[in-house]
Amino acid sequence: MAIDVHDGKQLAAGRGVAGFGIRELAAAAGIAPRTLHRLENGGMVHVSEKKRHGCVQLAVWEQIVKALRDAGVELLPENGNHGAGVRRGLPRSQRAAD
């Protein structure tokens, strides 16, 4: 089974674009602020379906991604041409005033 790898800085950037502090995003995702802080500052984030040392469980990662998505923010995967990134889910003309 392949383990997905993400960057903690991407997660922090997504939180910033959403306008959340660590406590707000953690509450929206239903996780402890300490967990979110650890993920953002730990460099590479390895995601696994099962509990594994040094990995975040897929269910926890999905809760964080959903909370960001609900706030209108998408995490973009790295590909052959671009690094990982963050973007708003809707164009400015379709979202509430920032």
| pLDDT reported for residue 98 | 55
How many domains, the chain? 1
Q: What percent of the chain has pLDDT over 90?
A: 52
Residue ranges making up the domain that contains 14: 4-94
- Res. 1 pLDDT band, cuts 50 70 90: very low
pLDDT digits over 6-53, tens only?
Answer: 788 999 999 999 999 999 999 999 999 999 999 999 878 888 888 777
Q: List the CATH number of the domain containing 53.
A: 1.10.260.40
87: its two tokens: 């973007």
What is the C-alpha separation between 64 and 56, in angstroms, rounded?
Answer: 11
When pLDDT is cut at 50, 70 and 90, the band that residue 97 belongs to is low
SS3 93: helix
pTM above 0.75, yes or no: yes
